[in-house]
Amino acid sequence: MASGAIRRFQERVLGPSRTGISSSTSEIWLLGVCYKISDGESSEEADSGHVLTAFGQDFSSLILMTYRRGFEPIGDTAYTSDVNWGCMLRSSQMLFAQALLFQRLGRSWRKKESEPPEEEYLGILELFGDSEASAFSIHNLILAGESYGLAAGSWVGPYAVCRSWESLIRKKREETDVKNKSFSMAVHIVSGSEDGERGGAPILCIEDVTKTCVEFSEGETEWSPILLLVPLVLGLDKVNPRYLPSLIATFTFPQSLGILGGKPGASTYIVGVQEDKGFYLDPHDVQQVVTVNKENRDVDTSSYHCNTPRYVPLESLDPSLALGFYCPDKADFDDFCIRATKLAGESNGAPLFTVTQSHRRNDCGIAESSSIVTSTEFSGEEEHEDDWQLL
């Protein structure tokens, strides 16, 4: 399908493409960074122009992954392109690439057009190349996620792709020696229960996260950088409006890695918010495959970036989505838990997820959560969990 046809299909699903920054003076949050736009005149207008320029530089430095054509066949299939079915996989690649970018180059890193790209930056892109030789290609992600329904030519949801990444990272850790680990952070899925099979608000258990870090470091340390993934189903046909304030607030967290979400069958990577709008990177553009390696600093990486912000009304999102957060160290994780606890306490009985220190067992041997989120104990007559679904 031609790129123009893909764009028309996308607009039928996501709605007409809305681009640029609105005239609103409300602040913009982009993966934990706030851009405050002045509503004044003269010198304040100049300040606003500077702020918008800074926002544009930040947005265009985020890594974009899109449909590609012309890559080697996936497994034993004939697929040499992921057009029409790979958008969720590409959206998840963006989130993981962004986590690596923050870890290796820092949140303040910006792409410089006038200078050769850094070797570390090229090394990140190389990991996401479109071949089995690249650790985090869609080829390897599909292979790792077969037990969760991943297959070339098939669309999958956020929960399945999160679990698939968990499997892929574990597999790559086992295949390589400690000094050559391609992914230098643990991955932890925050689920609705210990076995991940019950409904209700997901529970982030600190003891479980600590265990994940210890296992990741193979017992060498009690803590490691960690990527938290929180798959959610926040309604039936669309996101219940009660959850929107909390979704928006997560972008104010310094640990924010955005949202995997969009419309049914049309995933995007949502990286920022302004009022009720979500700015996103769109994987639906079709581009020719590009080979990147860190030894070739002359390679053109422009296809991995987007200079034009697009936005979508948050109320129109599909209720099945996933949040991402990156915590580089224990202090940052503790800060995240404090923020998450406060957010849950202010959710009016509709928390996205809750935080607990440990799982204790009652006299019958049934696991219970020993929650540190005391302010989220519902004080109203209803617990309002009617919109939660099993993941």
Which H or E run includes 327?
strand 320-327
E strands, 180-219, are 186-189, 203-205
For the question of residue 139 being annotated catalytic, the response is no
The tokens for 115 are 């200078």
Q: How far is CA 215 from CA 75, 209, 210, 223, in A?
A: 30, 10, 9, 10
For the question of residue 276 being annotated catalytic, the response is no
- Going by C-alpha positions, the residue among 107, 61, 67, 101 that lies closest to residue 87 is 67
Amino acid of residue 209: V
Q: Where are the alpha helices (DSSP H) in 66-157?
A: 87-105, 119-127, 138-144
E strands, 163-309, are 186-189, 203-205, 226-233, 256-263, 266-274, 277-281, 286-288
The answer for residues whose C-beta is within 8 angstroms of residue 287's C-beta and 6 or more apart is: 66, 67, 68, 69, 303
What single DSSP character describes residue 227? E
Residue 168, SS3 per DSSP: helix
For the question of residue 205 being annotated catalytic, the response is no
Give helix 87-105 / helix 158-175 axis angle, nearest 10°.
50
Determine which one of 58, 87, 130, 139 is catalytic.
Answer: 87
Q: Say how far apart CA 199 and CA 291 lie, in whole Å.
A: 42
Determine which one of 284, 306, 318, 327 is catalytic.
Answer: 284
Determine which one of 58, 130, 208, 282 is catalytic.
Answer: 282
Please provide the DSSP assignment of 260-294 as one string. Answer: EEEETTEEEEEEEEETTEEEEE-TTSEEE-----T
Q: Quick one: CA torsion of 377, 378, 384, 388, rounded to 10 degrees?
A: 0
How far does CA 301 lie from the centroid of its chain? 21
Q: Say how far apart CA 64 and CA 90 lie, in whole Å.
A: 9
Active site members = 87, 282, 284
